[in-house]
Structure 1
Amino acid sequence: MFKIFQEYKSISWLLAQEKYIDFSPNYQRMGRVWNKEQKQLLIDSVINGFDIPKIYFQFMPQNNNTLCYNYAVIDGKQRLEAIFDFLKNELALSDPFVFINDADKKYSNIAGKTFFEIDNVAPSIISRILEYELCIVFMDTDSPDIINETFIRLNSGVAVNTAEKRNASGGNLAQQMKTLYMTSPFFTDKIRMTNARYAHFDLALKFLMIEMGYEDLGKKTVDRFVSSEKDFDIECQQALERVKSKINCFINEFDDKDKLLSKKSLIVTLYSIVDEIPVGKLKKFIKYFELSREIAMGREDKINSDPKMIEFTRLLQQGADKKFSLDGRREIMLEYLHIFLTIE
Structure 2
Amino acid sequence: MQDSFVYQMLPARVVFGHGTSATLPAEAERLGLRRLLVLSTPEQVALAQRIQQLLGDRAPSTFNTATMHTPVEVTKRALEVVEAERIDGVVAVGGGSTIGLGKAIALRTDLPQIVLPTTYAGSEMTPILGETDDGRKTTQRSPKIQPEVVIYDVDLTLSLPLMMSALSAFNALAHAVEALYAPDSNPIVAMMAEEGVRAIVDALPKVLKEPDDPRARATLLYGAWLCACCLGVTTMGLHHKLCHTLGGMFDLPHAQTHAIVLPYALAYNAPMVPEAMSRLCRAMRSDDAIGALLRLERDCRIPLALRDIGMPREGIARAVKQALSNPYGNPRPVESVALAELLEHAWAGTGI
TM-score by length of 1: 0.30
Alignment TM-score, normalising by the size of structure 2? 0.29
Q: Compare CA radii of gyration and give the structure with the larger one.
A: 1
